[in-house]
Amino acid sequence: MKGLLYILLLLETLVVQQQVDGGQVENEISQQLSSEDSRQNPSPTHEASTDSQQYCHLSFPDIHAALRELTATITEQKANIRALETRLREQQTFILEELNRKTDALEMRLRDTEKAAEQQTFILEELNKKTDDISNLTQSQVEELRKENRDREIAFSTSLMQSGSGHVGPFTTDITVTYKNVFTNVGNAYNPITGGLVTSAQTANTYKNNNNK
């Protein structure tokens, strides 16, 4: 754009310079034509000057037309450039607004994701704590039950007769059979006098009968 303006100024300067030079030539010609003989017998220099003046007058309109055309072209280009700049600013504004909107949406999603991750981390930590508590409680309960079972272990072995074989009964009514011959009685749960066996509700009882027929 600056180059075109520089060309216009240069052309205007050339036109003015040519006009000034043409005026000086006309003054010199007028002085040389002051005598009557010069007018009747024009010299070759006068003819050349006249031809040069006519040539300048003929060339000036062409230069002005070219300048006007160039000025119109520059004006049109300026208008096109302004229109392009306006469109470019509008597009830049639209793009920036879209980028800002998408950035805000992404930031919101990121905050939600971070919040959800924090909540999940908190829940996982709570579950781990509860799992550890349950594990510790279960182990302590198991140890306690084992201790209780060791304290409550009972075992006894008896026989109705000390040796040999024999018969007991039959009886017409229900009676409690007492094993008088007690070999082992771990925990003293069996009472050989009453024939009663004292056990807890959680005890698993196993009986084995080895009576010989």
What CA–CA distance (Å, rounded) separates 60 from 17? Answer: 12
Predicted pLDDT of residue 69: 86
Asked whether residue 51 is domain-assigned, the answer is: no
CB-side neighbour CA atoms (13 Å) of 19: 10
Asked whether residue 119 is domain-assigned, the answer is: yes
Asked whether residue 30 is domain-assigned, the answer is: no
Q: Say whether both 117 and 177 belong to one domain.
A: no
pLDDT at 38 over 80: no
Q: Say whether both 68 and 91 belong to one domain.
A: yes
Q: Say whether both 123 and 146 belong to one domain.
A: yes
Q: Say whether both 136 and 159 belong to one domain.
A: no
Q: Say whether both 114 and 178 belong to one domain.
A: no
Give long-range contacts, CB 8 A cutoff, 24+ apart: 3-11. Answer: 4/70, 4/74, 5/74, 7/70, 8/67, 8/70, 8/71, 8/74, 11/63, 11/66, 11/67
Helix (H) or strand (E) holding 196: none
Q: Say whether both 142 and 106 belong to one domain.
A: yes
Asked whether residue 29 is domain-assigned, the answer is: no
Asked whether residue 188 is domain-assigned, the answer is: yes
State how far Cα 144 lies from the chain centre: 53
Q: Say whether both 20 and 104 belong to one domain.
A: yes
Q: Say whether both 143 and 130 belong to one domain.
A: yes
Q: For the chain, what percent of residues have pLDDT higher than 70?
A: 47
Domain span at residue 20? 9-24+58-152
Asked whether residue 127 is domain-assigned, the answer is: yes
Number of compact structural domains in the chain:
2
pTM: 0.31
Instruction: Write out pLDDT tens, residues 62-100.
Output: 778 888 888 888 888 999 999 999 999 999 999 999 999
The model's confidence at residue 213, banded by pLDDT at 50, 70 and 90, is very low
Q: For the chain, what percent of residues have pLDDT higher than 90?
A: 20
Q: Say whether both 137 and 192 belong to one domain.
A: no
